[in-house]
Amino acid sequence: MFFLLLVPNLVMAQALIVPETNLKSRVVISPYAQAVPNDSYTFISVSHPSLDTAQTQIGVGLEVIGMTTLVNNAAGRAVIFTVDAGETHRVFVANVSHSSINSSIADSRTHLIFTVDSAQFGNIRAVGINENPASSTVVNGVRKFNNLSQLDFWGVVYIESSGTGFSMEFIGDAHDSTVGRNFGSSNLEGIARQSTGVARGIN
């Protein structure tokens, strides 16, 4: 009887330690994206540059925010994929009637999010799939992390009529990273062993 009274408390304690998906250790954002019929679309690449602090596979859920997608629910607004070391995945956000961005180009590394056929403006939010992104796994003496601060995100809003566009800024990926492993053995005077973490994404 005493054991049964403890079980609900154990279950609740386990549920409370799962990180929220809005924690900075799990999220990469870009403040602007668009898809306009006969005018423009958004292209995003996600690369695993094989940092020595990165696990060899990192799961990503990438979604558009503020746009009306063809299937206008959580599944229609997002794509979920795993990036292996050395790989680059491509994500296109385009209107469903686009003549060349369609299901024929989709493959294991090319993902499509279709919006309805009207001008759509919003932003991008990528979430790490790992439930505990601040934890590491030690491999051959090196701490390795499974979180989005180990990946490189790059993107562009492409204006088709002029063949130009403008680049997208991503906040929280490897470009925002601070000094990584072995910081404690640094010979730099006065800062040894004072790292704030492997990357800003997990601080």
pLDDT in single tens digits along all 203 residues of the chain: 544 454 444 444 444 444 566 666 789 999 999 999 999 999 999 999 998 889 999 999 999 999 999 999 999 999 999 999 999 999 999 999 999 999 999 999 999 999 999 999 999 999 999 988 888 899 989 999 999 999 999 999 999 999 999 999 999 888 775 544 444 444 444 444 444 444 444 43
> What is the structure's pLDDT at 176?
73
State the Cα–Cα distance between residues 133 and 127, nearest whole angstrom.
Answer: 11
Please provide residue 200's backbone torsions phi and psi, each rounded to the nearest 5 degrees.
Answer: -60, -30
Q: What is the pLDDT, as a whole number, of residue 19?
A: 52
Measured in degrees and rounded to the nearest 5, phi and psi for residue 201 equal -60, -20
Torsion angles phi and psi, residue 191, rounded to 5 = -120, 0
Tokens of 192: 């040894």
What pLDDT is attached to residue 22?
Answer: 67
d(CA 156, CA 196): 31
